[in-house]
Amino acid sequence: MYQVGTERKTGLVLFALAVGGFAIGTTEFATMSLLPLFAQGLGIDAPTAGHAISAYALGVVVGAPALAVIGARLDRRTLLIALMAMFAIGNTLSGLAPSYEWLLVFRFLTGLPHGAYFGIAALVATSLVPEDRRTVAVGRMFLGLTFATIIGVPLSNWLGHAIGWRWSFGFAASLGVLTMTCVRLWAPSVPPSAEASPLRELGALRRPQVWLTLGIGAIGFGGLFAVYTYLADILASVTHVSVAATGLILSVFGVGMTIGNVVIPVFADRALMRTAGLLLLWSAVMLLLFPLAAHNVWTITIVVFLIGIGGALGTVLQTRLMDVAEDAQGLAAALNHSAFNTANALGPFLGGLAIAGGFGWTSPGWVGALLALGGIGIWALSLYVQRRSAAAAVRRVESRVYAESER
């Protein structure tokens, strides 16, 4: 049982880490809604401006493993501060970008620390709590990301429309500096183990369960992004709601993610893989209901909220990766966000193909359900491999005991 002082200190550390999630979530999601503004400001069309989002996602995919490996021998608090310094500089440069080409470069650089930050922050968060509270701690850290969809994105949008899109990137940069300050003040120094090395971190890539867990996220989470990406268009074209109502419903999605990250980790700490499987099934059902609910403002609001709850899958898989990575947790934890950015690319791509193919604005719901079912398939394979490995380990122990008894 922790003392009150210890609980309070842990809470401050988790808050500091969550501020970083708030900063990253704000710049990642707000950029999508600010596309028309910086497209106009840089004299390009909206589809071309959309490449800035792809550049950021590419930065996440590249930076997550690279920076986790490079920083393997650094104190984790120092590494977190360095990562947020990169984030703040990248956003500052994005706000000062003189051309579209430079904006692409700066958004790529801004995305580099994204995955590594969340991975290392998750390791720090879980080091502060007992074994049976790890996923809860990760969920608290991820609350910064979910609150970004409720508060940070609307505020960033308001800044973009009120005083210019460049100031939105400046706002994200200031949040990065705030994170650096909070982490320096409240996060503990966590030196690397004596055996830590880039080579040992790369050892995570030799473990099948790491790849299977990443596959669950890359495929199973794609359904959520397939719907979220086109939600504003669906609300306008199918549900026929106002711009103000659209903003509220998008916030309801964030509320669902927030509640999911508060409630679901409690169950995950008791049965991690079972919770992951049930979340994937939950997402598949909700996404199947989405096309049926899209024609009424009340039903679509409820379903969007319920889809948001499924976002807790990210927290659950973060803990799963740390479990299966054994002594290479830094790289595996960081790769979680490479997987989810793969989902962020795959879901909208397949959803867009369905819309372009004439299946209607609500067809991303069907696509998303199929992706969630695909995630369930990989989850089942992971569970099968895990049980088979455990059974093989038991047989080896029994054979050893039998051999020793025969001597």
pLDDT of residue 348: 84
pLDDT per residue of the chain (407 residues) written in tens, 0 to 9? 333 346 678 889 999 999 999 999 999 878 776 777 877 888 887 667 777 877 888 898 888 888 888 887 889 899 999 999 999 999 999 999 999 899 999 999 999 999 889 989 988 998 888 888 889 999 999 899 889 988 888 888 788 888 888 999 999 999 999 999 999 999 988 787 666 556 566 666 778 888 999 999 999 988 898 888 788 888 888 999 887 788 788 889 989 999 999 999 999 999 999 999 999 999 999 999 999 999 999 999 999 999 999 999 999 998 898 888 776 677 777 888 888 888 887 888 888 889 888 999 999 999 999 999 999 999 999 999 988 877 776 666 666 766 666 66
Q: What is the pLDDT of residue 3?
A: 36
pTM recorded for the entire structure: 0.83
Q: What is the pLDDT of residue 29?
A: 79
Nearest of 6, 257, 273, 21 to residue 122 by alpha carbon: 21
Q: In the CATH scheme, what is the code of domain 1-196?
A: 1.20.1250.20
Q: What are phi and psi of 395, to 5 degrees?
A: -65, -35
Query: How many angstroms separate the Cα of 131 from the Cα of each of 3, 235, 268, 269, 319?
Result: 17, 43, 12, 8, 11
Kindly state the tokens that stand for 271: 């049965």
Looking at residue 250, its pLDDT comes to 83
What pLDDT is attached to residue 196? 57
What is the token pair recorded at 392?
Answer: 């093989």
What confidence score (pLDDT) does residue 356 get? 85
Ordered DSSP codes for 132-155: GGHHHHHHHHHHHHHHIIIIIHHH
What tokens does 105 get? 């470069």
Confirm if 363 and 291 have CB atoms less than 8 A apart.
Answer: yes
The answer to whether 1-196 and 197-407 have equal CATH topology is yes
Distance, CA of 257 to CA of 243 (rounded, Å):
22
What does CATH list as the number for 197-407? 1.20.1250.20
Domain coordinates of the chain in residue numbers? 1-196, 197-407
Q: How far apart are CA 297 and CA 245, in angstroms?
A: 9
Q: In whole angstroms, what is the distance from residue 306 CA to residue 48 CA?
A: 33
